[in-house]
Structure 1
Amino acid sequence: MEDYELLVYLQKKRDELARTLIESKKRGIAFADAERDYKREKAKFIAQKRMENMPVTLIRDLAQGDVYISELRHARDVAKVLYQNAAEAINVYKLECRLVEAQIKREWHA
């Protein structure tokens, strides 16, 4: 690649990195919201079962098997994966930028 093409490519990667940072923030907030919702509803479920004198040893298993609680847990897990994916994409874009910057530096010093 020529210097100009490398600079254009580098700028494209920096733009992608900036967009991914914004997306990562959104996904991080969504993950935190999903985590909060899951824990809040699980706590309500546990409190309700304790008030019903359900044996404590059974409550956790029942909470995990409850359709609503398990859906919230699934939503939380999906949000976590999406957040982790965005974080990994950030690392990939940063690496690509470093590689292109190194290539530009080599070509300018050659």
Structure 2
Amino acid sequence: METLEAIEALGALAQETRLEAFRTLVQHEPEGLPAGEIARHLSVPQNTMSTHLAILVNAGLADSRREGRSVIYRARLSAMEGLIGYLLKDCCRGQACLPEAEINQGQCP
């Protein structure tokens, strides 16, 4: 992941409704959810939710597909893994210590 991609992804998630929408999509993997159902779940007007979902798609954090009259959204878990990897890639001064860091409550050896 490049710096500008990370900034766009973080910016997309830096809004409460979009963060909750992404978390909702993660909970409904791998089948995904229709936009209307996400809107109802989060108590957000459907046209507003469509805008938020478009931002997540443009940031590479979600995908959409049409099924009949519905648009089904899915979280792009690989994109989130890439973002987390980008944020942690220089952990522990470049040493490969992440698994040990997790075991030691975040402390590098």
TM-score between both structures, scaled by the size of structure 1: 0.29
| Higher relative helix content | 1
TM-score between both structures, scaled by the size of structure 2: 0.29
Q: Which has the higher contact order (CA 8 A, sep 6+)?
A: 1
